[in-house]
Amino acid sequence: MKKIISTSEAPAAVGPYSQAIRIGNLVFCSGQIPLDPETGEIVPGDVNAQTRRVMENIAAVLRAERLSFDNIIKTTIFLANLADFQAVNELYGSYFKSDPPARSTVQVAALPKNAQVEIEVVAATNANGGRAIDTWE
């Protein structure tokens, strides 16, 4: 059974989608662009300012389910310009203290509201401390 996740601490959906959906122990977060949750407008500034806002929006959605960046197992980063990769990568990396999630990064032709960056995440409620089992033994 799916649970809709919504918080006023993150930007409201600007279309027919939910901020996040929980199914079992997995949380699928919609892509976050650098919208200020209070104004609904893109934050001013460069790709660093936009990336920081995106990461704070993700944190707010995760907090709504009592989760943190430690629970993230997969991310996808969408960049309007791949030349911004290094700057985004540095700031993004600062949010993961250890064991960063799997990740894909792609350049796209454009993002909603002319954002420079969008990030979506998948989190697991039991992502901490588990070990994979090698089935090929």
Closest CA to 94 of 51, 65, 130: 51
Considering the domain boundaries, does residue 112 fall inside one? yes
Q: Count CB-CB contacts under 10 A for residue 14.
A: 11
Query: Would 15 be classed as within a structural domain?
Result: yes
Task: Check if the beta carbon of residue 54 is closer than 8 Å to that of residue 117.
Answer: yes
- Can you read off the two tokens belonging to residue 135? 């089935």
| CATH code, domain with 97 | 3.30.1330.40
**55 in any annotated domain:** yes
Q: How does pLDDT run along the chain (137 residues), one tens digit per residue?
A: 899 999 999 999 878 999 999 999 999 999 999 999 999 999 999 999 999 999 999 999 999 999 999 999 999 999 999 999 999 999 999 999 899 999 999 999 999 999 999 999 999 998 655 554 444 54
Residue 89 lies in a domain: yes
In a domain, 134, yes or no: no
Range of the domain at 78: 2-124
How many Å apart are CA 76 and CA 74, to the nearest integer? 7
Residue 129: per-residue pLDDT: 53
Q: Is residue 47 a part of any domain in this protein?
A: yes
Query: What total of structural domains would you count in the chain?
Result: 1
Question: Has residue 54 been placed in a domain?
Answer: yes
Residue 14: the pLDDT is 79
Task: Give the pLDDT score at 132.
Answer: 47
Rounded CA gap, 52 and 43, in Å?
A: 10
DSSP-derived 3-state class of residue 119: strand
Q: Is 102 inside any structural domain?
A: yes
Predicted pLDDT at 126: 83
CA atoms within 13 A on the CB side of 14: 15
H/E run at residue 52: helix 47-63
